[in-house]
A and B are shown apart, each in its own frame.
Chain A
């Protein structure tokens, strides 16, 4: 595991990720319109928003897959992405899928450790076609974490999983956060998933970050509590779903 040395000389805002006044257009449609977002070191921010509002677009900018049409994006060089679909290389066994971005003689050992962390010891030699949906998504998680990134971007990583597997994945993410000290941005449609995992929930609207909610509930209160229901109602209101609750 990487060192836990403090780096006091480094300004705080350099850790995590920073998007300043970011603009992104497709043709004459402006999807991101002067968006600002800062993610602190080791913070898990959940991004909520209606379909088509530009969540994936923002995530791709932070991942460095696309360039902004205006503004500024600053992210650590060591970052990883978990996509909605697992995006495994079907022609490589699980282990080689995890070592894809790794260099050095201990790559295999590190990949084995990462697979063990997501509960997939012993499946290193399997072909992707032999994995279940949840297993494949766990491999994608291992592949993201194996390089000890400073920023992990997750685009609806558990959307295609069933409810029980999704809850297991939430436990897994919480456990992994204890060991890996990375900032995370998680995009989801699921308000309950947001409440279960977030340090902070931001809601996108009109190409910007609309409301923000700091979530400072202990784990038990995230399952069921008055504060949780209040937060849930507030989020649904932000998403324009208030009349349904």
Chain B
């Protein structure tokens, strides 16, 4: 920004020399290495610097996936990867288009999204309500904790056969599976987030004469927010997982069905289209939580990696 920044020699480390204005006191054993700090990159943005920063991570966190995609495309076109095993990404676009035109992809996607949405809504509602009660009240802790811990240790997929026996193979089982996936991590994270709010701040709030409601709304809820968002991230990821499990094992509609069908008829490209859509769902969910974090956790003096 200033001239000084440009004029000053860009020296970051240099050995100590006698010619410096202030020679060290008698002891010559003092560390000879010195560090010089100049205005940061943001201070003097040359066109070259901007270009270099852009080139290094042009797509942010999606740089690596994009590189993998390009590599895959190149290998597929070069004939290294057989189309029967891993068709080129560009040809997958064509497949997706074809499936959409056949009127398969649209309804399948819709029904999957509906299942995920219902399961999430159910799981998050129960998980948040139980987490808040368990976090705030001792009796809530005793009521829910043991149960959730037990459910948490049972793998989702292992419960599926039982649920099919109990509830049949229709929508309810799938929604329930997804809601388990979403509800359990939400409860666990919310509970420990509320219990983890700094005791000294709770104490301070009590000395100001703030009532119970104030304590909950201004101290416990905002203090538990970072943990809540961690829980939400897990919930979204696990609900996609639950969706896959439910649809793969038993479905006659939905993305999972699309994949199973593709597998049965050796339509590898169809399998890949299904997988790609699952992963896009996961990425969208992650971006959603990130956006929430940016808005809700503005107060946090976060660590910004270089």
* Residues 213-227 (chain A) with a chain B CB within 8 angstroms: none
Contact B300 A90 (CB under 8 A): yes
B79 → chain A, closest Cβ, in Å? 56
Query: What residues of chain A lie closer than 8 Å to B81, measured between beta carbons?
Result: none
Scan A140-164; emit 1 where CB is below 8 A from any B CB, else 0: 0001100100000000000000000
Query: What residues of chain A lie closer than 8 Å to B218, measured between beta carbons?
Result: 89, 92, 96, 100
Contact B200 A128 (CB under 8 A): no
Query: What residues of chain B lie closer than 8 Å to A89, measured between beta carbons?
Result: 201, 205, 218-219, 222-223
A157 → chain B, closest Cβ, in Å? 13
A129 CA to B218 CA in the complex, in Å? 17
* Residues 204-250 (chain B) with a chain A CB within 8 angstroms: 204-210, 214, 218-219, 222-223, 225
B194 → chain A, closest Cβ, in Å? 14
A194 CA to B214 CA in the complex, in Å? 35
Q: Chain A at the B interface: mostly helix, strand, loop or mixed?
A: loop
Contact A78 B209 (CB under 8 A): yes
Partner of B207, one of A81, A91, A92, A127: A81
Contact A90 B299 (CB under 8 A): yes
A101 → chain B, closest Cβ, in Å? 3
A234 CA to B271 CA in the complex, in Å? 87
Partner of A100, one of B203, B210, B301: B210
Contact B209 A91 (CB under 8 A): no
A13 near B: Cβ within 8 Å? no
Contact A91 B203 (CB under 8 A): no
Query: What residues of chain A lie closer than 8 Å to B223, measured between beta carbons?
Result: 89, 91
Contact B200 A100 (CB under 8 A): no
A65 CA to B208 CA in the complex, in Å? 12
Number of chain B residues whose Cβ lies closer than 8 Å to a Cβ of chain A: 20
Query: What residues of chain B lie closer than 8 Å to A90, measured between beta carbons?
Result: 299-301
Scan A95-115; emit 1 where CB is below 8 A from any B CB, else 0: 010001100000000000000
**Nearest residue, chain B, Cβ from A127:** B299
Contact B214 A83 (CB under 8 A): no
A101 CA to B203 CA in the complex, in Å? 12
A202 near B: Cβ within 8 Å? no
Contact A101 B225 (CB under 8 A): no
Scan A68-91; emit 1 where CB is below 8 A from any B CB, else 0: 000000000011110101010111
A63 near B: Cβ within 8 Å? yes
**Nearest residue, chain A, Cβ from B210:** A101
Partner of A92, one of B204, B299, B301: B299
B41 → chain A, closest Cβ, in Å? 23
Query: What residues of chain A lie closer than 8 Å to B299, measured between beta carbons?
Result: 90-92, 127-129
Contact A87 B200 (CB under 8 A): yes
**Nearest residue, chain A, Cβ from B222:** A91
A143 CA to B208 CA in the complex, in Å? 8
A94 → chain B, closest Cβ, in Å? 11
A181 CA to B205 CA in the complex, in Å? 23
Pick from A81, A96, A144 the residue with the most CB of B within 10 Å: A81
Pick from B208, B222, B223, B301 the residue with the most CB of A within 10 Å: B208
Contact A81 B204 (CB under 8 A): yes
Query: What residues of chain B lie closer than 8 Å to A85, measured between beta carbons?
Result: 200
Query: What residues of chain A lie closer than 8 Å to B208, measured between beta carbons?
Result: 80, 100-101, 143-144, 147
A81 CA to B207 CA in the complex, in Å? 6
A127 CA to B297 CA in the complex, in Å? 12
Query: What residues of chain A lie closer than 8 Å to B203, measured between beta carbons?
Result: 65, 87
**With contacts A64-B207, A81-B207, A96-B218 known, what are 16 further pairs, Cβ within 8 A?**
A65-B206, A87-B200, A87-B201, A87-B204, A89-B201, A89-B205, A89-B218, A89-B222, A91-B222, A91-B223, A92-B218, A92-B222, A101-B209, A127-B299, A144-B208, A147-B209
